[in-house]
Amino acid sequence: MDREVDTVSVKKLTARAGLRFESDSQEIIDEEAVNILRTVNEERSLTRAAERLNVSYKYLWNSLRVMEKRLGHPLVTAKHGGFGGGGSANLTSEGSSLVAEFDNVQRGLQGIVEETGFWEAIGLRLSARNRLFGIIEEVKKGPVAAHVKISVNHPITITALITREAADDLLLNQGEKIHALFKATDVVLGKSVAQTPTKARRDKKK
pLDDT of residue 40: 93
Q: Are 183 and 117 in contact (CB under 8 A)?
A: yes
In angstroms, rounded to a whole number, what is the distance separating the alpha carbons of residues 152 and 136? Answer: 9
- How far is the CA of 115 from the CAs of 38, 111, 148, 183, in angstroms? 27, 6, 22, 9
- Residues 81-139 have pLDDT tens digits of 544 445 688 999 999 998 988 888 888 777 766 665 555 555 544 444 566 778 888 88
Looking at the predicted structure, is the pLDDT value of residue 196 above 70? no
Q: Which of the residue ranges 22-26, 65-69, 127-131 would you say has the lowest mean pLDDT?
A: 127-131
Residue with the larger pLDDT of the pair 17 and 37: 37
90: exposed, middle or buried (C-beta count within 10 Å: 0-12, 13-18, 19+)? Answer: middle
- Structural domains of the chain in order of their starting residue, each with its CATH number: 20-114 (1.10.10.10), 120-199 (2.40.50.100)
